Chains A and B, each alone.
Chain A
């Protein structure tokens, strides 16, 4: 679909000294083009994609994160970008290590990225520098931990009010057998 974009990106962000900014381009399922982007050059790549007259990626429909527990680096932030004028889509994947889970915010490029980045922070604990409103999105401030991480237990409830104890549970929902509470 947008092989042109990938080629242009790889060509433009070549850096023989510090390694390429955009690597590992491949055609994903259904024909969407994907590439890995180095964290340091993310903002540069995004700005190029939006501002270049050839590209015009004027929208960031979805940004999310994935926790590959056991792999190194552990997290990956996925940027799905869309150009409505060209009808192109591209997926940028950025790897982040657990100890240093910090990314530059792209809110300055697409304002719509605001809540997606807050979601990544809330659910995975990935920080974004220069984010205008760096708070949790879904969970409350008293909540400890990041629920979508793979090592967070499925039933790890942190109630805000004292709950009455319900003695026996007749049957259980899906998920692993051990209780996370």
Chain B
């Protein structure tokens, strides 16, 4: 017998008081979430390393909805890009249309008629409400509140009905044009939309009442996925997620576009930067959007819908059939596309999730040379591993929901 064994045997072995004291092998476990997983909204894949129930590390793999947005746009005319932009953030497509149109107009130095600006603002804000309703509904659904989901979808459907009357499609609106908007509001549309908004306000308040003081909901969202103000800036957050962390930066105030400088509205700012704040931010923004739309209805005056410049906008049909200039302009716009002056520009607008940027490079021809998309949700999704460090696995679901990752825009 060696001395070590003798030493070991000298010590008395105490019997364990219970089974629970038995040493458990703690081993890290790899869990693969997605890409076809309901919590991952269909298209992201997270490889989560679990330490017990806590997330030790998380690795994201995206690109399951990469459908070559930029390459496709580089091969079509500037006007034909609009349907592609519809399908970026498909919950709020008009905002993408408007963002792209504004970026191109920045390059062309076009001034859009006032009525078109108002219509763009109204439709953008309606779609902001749609986007936030979808997020709140999905957040509720995934935390077990099915009713909220049904209310939110109903509210969204009511608004979509109005937008269908305006632009002909429920979801992919294709509404804005370079130099204006595609069509005017039909007769009686403003009154009808006001009535619809009243109904949506009721639904929103009901959702608010169901969730905001709900014990289960608050327990699962408060102090979950907290992002500090410095972190949020460093990680490139924009939009409601940045403002939830306490940074009052909103492009509608910081760099006003359209008619936002004439409207009276507030920017809600959070204080904790957790999932609950991000949820509250959405509820507040819906209230502000509602206020803005009503102001626009009040201030809007009849007028032109598009600029009268045949280099950018199709001439009206009587001129196409009646004058040689009209035919020429029509033919050139259809066959060659709008001749955007050579140069580069970065257009940015405040979309539902944050800064929506288009980096455009034109070589003076009818097609974009480069169309770079800065998707609002991109940095937020990239930051998910940082936010989730050390959180519970079950926290992944609300956090993932509250950053509102939309596959279409993030993965292009």
Contact flag (A, B; Cβ within 8 A): yes
Binary interface encoding of chain A residues 112-124 relative to chain B, with 1 for a CB under 8 A from any of its CBs, else 0: 1111100000010
Q: How far is the CA of A176 from the CA of B109 in the complex (A)?
A: 30
Q: Which one of A32, A64, A66, A87 has the greatest number of beta carbons of chain B within 10 Å?
A: A64
Within 70-116 of A, Cβ neighbours of B (below 8 Å) are at 78, 80, 84, 87, 89, 91, 110-116
Task: Tell me if B's interface is mostly helix, strand, loop or mixed.
Answer: mixed
Q: Kindly list chain A residues whose C-beta atoms are within 8 Å of the C-beta of B159.
A: none
Q: How far is the CA of A121 from the CA of B247 in the complex (A)?
A: 31
Q: A80-B357, A140-B63, A154-B75 given as contacts; is B346 within 8 A of A58 (CB)?
A: no
**A143 → chain B closest CB, angstroms:** 10
Q: Are A110 and B357 within 8 A (Cβ)?
A: no
Q: Say if the beta carbon of B76 comes within 8 Å of chain A.
A: yes
Q: How far is the CA of A113 from the CA of B374 in the complex (A)?
A: 12
Q: Which one of A61, A87, A147, A174 has the greatest number of beta carbons of chain B within 10 Å?
A: A61
Binary interface encoding of chain B residues 62-75 relative to chain A, with 1 for a CB under 8 A from any of its CBs, else 0: 11001010111001
Q: A29-B106, A112-B236 given as contacts; is B63 within 8 A of A138 (CB)?
A: yes
Q: Kindly list chain A residues whose C-beta atoms are within 8 Å of the C-beta of B383.
A: 111-112
Q: Say if the beta carbon of B350 comes within 8 Å of chain A.
A: no
Q: Kindly list chain B residues whose C-beta atoms are within 8 Å of the C-beta of A115.
A: 378-379, 381-382
Q: Kindly list chain B residues whose C-beta atoms are within 8 Å of the C-beta of A113.
A: 236
Q: Are B235 and A111 within 8 A (Cβ)?
A: yes
Q: Are A29 and B62 within 8 A (Cβ)?
A: no
Q: How far is the CA of A52 from the CA of B392 in the complex (A)?
A: 38
**B233 → chain A closest CB, angstroms:** 5
Partner of A110, one of B236, B347, B361, B412: B236
Q: Kindly list chain A residues whose C-beta atoms are within 8 Å of the C-beta of B236.
A: 59-61, 110-113
Q: How far is the CA of A5 from the CA of B80 in the complex (A)?
A: 37
Q: Are A148 and B66 within 8 A (Cβ)?
A: no
**B212 → chain A closest CB, angstroms:** 28
- Contacts between chains A and B (CB distance < 8 A), count: 105
Q: How far is the CA of A175 from the CA of B367 in the complex (A)?
A: 11
Q: Are A139 and B63 within 8 A (Cβ)?
A: yes
Q: Kindly list chain B residues whose C-beta atoms are within 8 Å of the C-beta of A28.
A: 343-346
Q: A112-B236, A137-B62 given as contacts; is B346 within 8 A of A148 (CB)?
A: no
Q: Are A174 and B76 within 8 A (Cβ)?
A: yes
Interface residues on A, range: 35 or more
Q: Say if the beta carbon of A62 comes within 8 Å of chain B.
A: yes
Q: How far is the CA of A136 from the CA of B66 in the complex (A)?
A: 12
Q: Are B233 and A84 within 8 A (Cβ)?
A: yes
Q: How far is the CA of A113 from the CA of B235 in the complex (A)?
A: 8
Q: Say if the beta carbon of B5 comes within 8 Å of chain A.
A: no
Q: A59-B233, A66-B361 given as contacts; is B72 within 8 A of A174 (CB)?
A: yes
Q: A110-B234, A110-B236 given as contacts; is B346 within 8 A of A62 (CB)?
A: yes
Q: Say if the beta carbon of B372 comes within 8 Å of chain A.
A: yes
Q: Say if the beta carbon of A170 comes within 8 Å of chain B.
A: no
Within 37-84 of B, Cβ neighbours of A (below 8 Å) are at 62-63, 66, 68, 70-72, 75-76, 80
Q: How far is the CA of A62 from the CA of B236 in the complex (A)?
A: 9
Q: Kindly list chain B residues whose C-beta atoms are within 8 Å of the C-beta of A66.
A: 344, 361, 369-370, 372
Q: Say if the beta carbon of A30 comes within 8 Å of chain B.
A: yes
Q: Kindly list chain A residues whose C-beta atoms are within 8 Å of the C-beta of B62.
A: 137-138
In the complex, what residue of chain A is closest to B360 when comparing beta carbons?
A: A29
Partner of A174, one of B63, B75, B247: B75
In the complex, what residue of chain A is closest to B412 when comparing beta carbons?
A: A138
Q: Kindly list chain B residues whose C-beta atoms are within 8 Å of the C-beta of A110.
A: 234, 236
Q: Are B106 and A175 within 8 A (Cβ)?
A: no
In the complex, what residue of chain A is closest to B369 when comparing beta carbons?
A: A66
**A30 → chain B closest CB, angstroms:** 4
Q: How far is the CA of A60 from the CA of B355 in the complex (A)?
A: 12
Q: How far is the CA of A169 from the CA of B62 in the complex (A)?
A: 30
Q: How far is the CA of A147 from the CA of B386 in the complex (A)?
A: 29
**A13 → chain B closest CB, angstroms:** 22
**B388 → chain A closest CB, angstroms:** 15
Q: Say if the beta carbon of B277 comes within 8 Å of chain A.
A: no
Q: Say if the beta carbon of B249 comes within 8 Å of chain A.
A: yes
Q: Are B80 and A84 within 8 A (Cβ)?
A: no
A residues contacting B by CB (< 8 A) are 28-30, 32, 58-62, 64, 66-67, 78, 80, 84, 87, 89, 91, 110-116, 123, 136-140, 147-148, 154, 174-176
21 contacts between A and B (CB under 8 A): A28-B343, A29-B106, A58-B234, A59-B234, A61-B374, A66-B344, A78-B359, A80-B357, A84-B233, A87-B255, A91-B346, A111-B386, A112-B234, A115-B378, A115-B379, A115-B382, A138-B63, A138-B66, A148-B70, A148-B71, A174-B80
B residues contacting A by CB (< 8 A) are 62-63, 66, 68, 70-72, 75-76, 80, 106-107, 109, 233-238, 247, 249, 254-255, 343-348, 355, 357, 359, 361, 369-370, 372, 374, 378-379, 381-383, 386, 411-412
9 more contacts with CB within 8 A, not counting A111-B234, A112-B235, are A28-B346, A29-B107, A66-B361, A78-B359, A110-B234, A111-B236, A115-B379, A138-B412, A174-B80
